[in-house]
């Protein structure tokens, strides 16, 4: 998979195989908190019980988070692919903040589920075989999401 800026100020993702598409699909799976509660519900649990939060803040957060994931999911699922699963997703400049938000939700969910920040990255990279498959795959997705967000920041949002 290649991710690069476009001349129009957006981002182009070239996927070459089914595994690339799976990695892109996982943005939405992770962001939605599957399995488990969506991120906005897990964040709300950390808030003190507050009627104003539930009445004024929570609905907007739920809507924004859900809209971001829905937009990214539609972009990925509507991308044209050939018989070898090669294809591209074009992210217009105006959609980059939505993608950034969905990817951020995915990263935050991985952090909450796997406590990624507590992993000793230097030791883990040498001993990937010793990690469980779930953690190894979560680590790879987290690194991909970080790199993707960096590209969005460097070339579009920064």
Report yes or no: 86 and 17 within 8 Å, Cβ to Cβ: yes
Tell me how many domains the chain contains: 1
The domain of 37 spans 2-157
Model confidence, pTM: 0.85
Q: What percent of the chain has pLDDT over 90?
A: 58
Q: Which whole number is the average pLDDT over 124-145?
A: 78
pLDDT of residue 116: 76
Higher confidence at residue 153 or residue 35? 153
Mean confidence (pLDDT) of the chain: 86
Q: How far apart are CA 72 and CA 121, in angstroms?
A: 29
Alpha-carbon distance 114 to 15, whole Å?
Answer: 27
Q: What is the C-alpha to C-alpha distance for residues 150 and 155, in angstroms, rounded to an integer?
A: 8
């Amino acid at each position: 998979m290649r991710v690069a800026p476009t001349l129009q100020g957006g981002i182009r993702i070239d996927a070459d195989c089914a595994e690339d598409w799976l990695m892109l699909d996982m943005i939405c799976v992770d962001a939605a908190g599957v399995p488990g509660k969506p991120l906005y519900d897990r964040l709300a649990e950390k808030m003190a019980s507050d009627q104003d939060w539930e009445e004024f803040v929570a609905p907007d957060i739920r809507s924004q988070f859900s809209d971001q994931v829905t937009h990214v999911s539609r972009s990925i699922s509507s991308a044209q692919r050939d018989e070898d699963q090669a294809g591209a997703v074009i992210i217009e400049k105006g959609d980059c903040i939505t993608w950034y938000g969905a990817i951020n939700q995915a990263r935050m969910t991985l952090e909450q589920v796997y406590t990624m920040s507590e992993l000793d990255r230097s030791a883990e990279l040498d001993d990937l075989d010793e990690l469980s498959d779930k953690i190894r795959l979560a680590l790879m997705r987290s690194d991909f999401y970080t790199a993707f967000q960096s590209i969005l920041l460097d070339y579009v949002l920064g």
